[in-house]
Amino acid sequence: MSDFSELMSRVREGSDEAARDLVDTYGPHVFRAVRRRLNTQMRTKFDSSDFVQAVWTSFFARPRLLNNVETPNQLVALLATIARNKVVDERRKRFDTQAYGVSRERYS
C-alpha cells in the first residue's frame, strides 16, 4: 500500500494525527488555490487563511468526499475545487449584491 493510500485510509478511519499530516502536506496547495482566486479587491477585505480553514472544514465535514480520492492529484483537484467554490461564493455574496456594495466603497 502506498504512503498516500495509507494516509487516506487513516484519515477515513478518523485519525486526528493523519488529518494533521494531510493538512500539513496538502495545506500549501489549498493556500495557493485560494490565492489564485482572490483578486486584489478581495485580498484587502479577506485573509487567505480564513478561506483555507473553511476549505478544510468543508472537506472534513463531508467524509463521503474521501471515498473518491485515490491519488494525490485527485486530492489536490478536490481541494482546489472546494477553494474555488468558497472564494466564488464569498465574492458573489460580497461584491455582486447591492446589500454590501463593497465595490462601491469610497475612501477619502
> pLDDT digit string (tens) for 12-58?
999 999 999 999 999 999 999 999 888 877 877 888 899 999 999 99
Mention every residue, 6+ apart, whose C-beta is less than 8 A from residue 62: none
Cell triple for 98:
447591492
Can you tell me whether residue 65 is helix, strand or coil?
helix
Alpha helices by DSSP H, listed for the chain, are 3-12, 16-37, 40-43, 48-61, 72-95
Please tell me the predicted confidence (pLDDT) of residue 99. Answer: 54
Q: Which amino acid is at 14?
A: G
Mention every residue, 6+ apart, whose C-beta is less than 8 A from residue 31: 48, 49, 52
Q: Identify the band that residue 68 occupies on the pLDDT scale cut at 50, 70 and 90.
A: confident
